Structure 1
């Protein structure tokens, strides 16, 4: 099962060092998503991450920063951005991802490398952000669809159920950042289960 990490919603002291440790531990991709980000602080965080890991960072905001950081080759288009009529997402130079909240939107995301879908479980990081899925939920089997990555309330205990549901991957957020002291330990546990 593929594993993705979503950054903490807010900048914190020592964040770049922890991100570097997670990359060194095998974090495949970090989606850099901040609430109400300051462009300079956002760019500063990218600068503080070892350049050898830049190709594993997906920008959720300030896509134009990819010109300043040529190693960054991943762009994420949140649902609101993807649906803007003036938005252009065709660029083969980048790995492009997006998000959906309803599986009926799968035909809208052709041409993206993968899409996040959720919340699959009640969110750890967003109180009140509840799952809307039935307990016996299965990802619909369809030909030529964009890979669906589960997001929302995912920790080590949820990886096996996600495999049973048919998701191709998992994106973790609160399981790492809600207890930063244990982020590396929790990541390693989740990674091990995803790989088994």
Structure 2
């Protein structure tokens, strides 16, 4: 099971479970104690969450290993190296996002179940076992909370994908259209330059004509 996933969720539950601790009711306080690690590890929703994360991690690892083999076969190919680095960082970020989403969904499910059970049983508070030095085992309601958790099915779905965002796709299309317009304008912009070349040609021939006339003037003076 993902240790980081369990530790993160237990920390969040430890902070949030205090919301289930309320003042005493008539006839004295009644308290229930739960083992949070068991709720995460042994509940069906907890197992489903872990299975989803393991499957996602394996899928990402397989893609990284496949590209790593390609990189080893083309060690000097900068394009393959850049592709590998981009894929590795992208999948790492996606895995973090998937873990965060699973944590949030499972945390919300556990807290709602605990609060519903406390209200149904008329308990004054439900306390995590990690926060109690010693207690009567008769106060442990972990099994009862597990039963309640297992009555509800939770389907975990990926919140990330390889598909580009709609905004990025639009920007790419806009870039292509802009490039097409620039290419269409290019021939038109070239016309004035060609015209200038044509205009410049007669100007270059004038000095030559002047040189041809010059000898005639000298001959007339000699006469």
Query: Is the strand fraction higher in 1 or 2?
Result: 1
**TM-score under structure 2 length normalisation:** 0.19
TM-score by length of 1: 0.21
- Bigger radius of gyration, 1 or 2? 2
Where relative contact order (Cα < 8 A, 6+ residues apart) is larger, the structure is: 2
